[in-house]
């Protein structure tokens, strides 16, 4: 189950699967614009630690 939320900027995004364990600095993310791989940071939104810089983005 994946939660979709909006992009903050072109370089930052929020999102992450509920089931995903945050034990890696890279994680597959899904946004309303498509899939992206980002580096996670210590930021929480709606209880989900899911702020990262976009490394690869497919629209």
pLDDT in tens, 3-58: 444 444 333 444 443 324 443 444 445 544 444 444 444 444 444 444 444 444 44
**CA 37, CA 15: separation in Å to the nearest integer?**
11
Q: Confirm whether pTM is higher than 0.85.
A: no
* pLDDT at residue 17, as a whole number: 39
- Distance (Å, rounded) from C-alpha 45 to C-alpha 58? 23
Residue 13 structural domain? 2-57
- Cα(46)–Cα(25) distance, integer angstroms: 20
> 34-40 and 51-57 as β-strands: parallel, antiparallel, unpaired?
antiparallel
Whole-number Å distance between alpha carbons of 57 and 47: 24
Count up the domains in the chain and report the number.
1
């Amino acid at each position: 189950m994946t939660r979709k939320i909006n992009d903050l900027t072109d370089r930052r995004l929020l999102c992450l699967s509920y089931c995903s364990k945050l034990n890696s600095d890279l994680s597959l993310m899904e946004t309303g614009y498509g899939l992206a791989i980002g580096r996670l940071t210590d930021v929480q939104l709606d209880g989900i630690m899911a702020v990262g810089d976009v490394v690869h983005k497919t629209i």
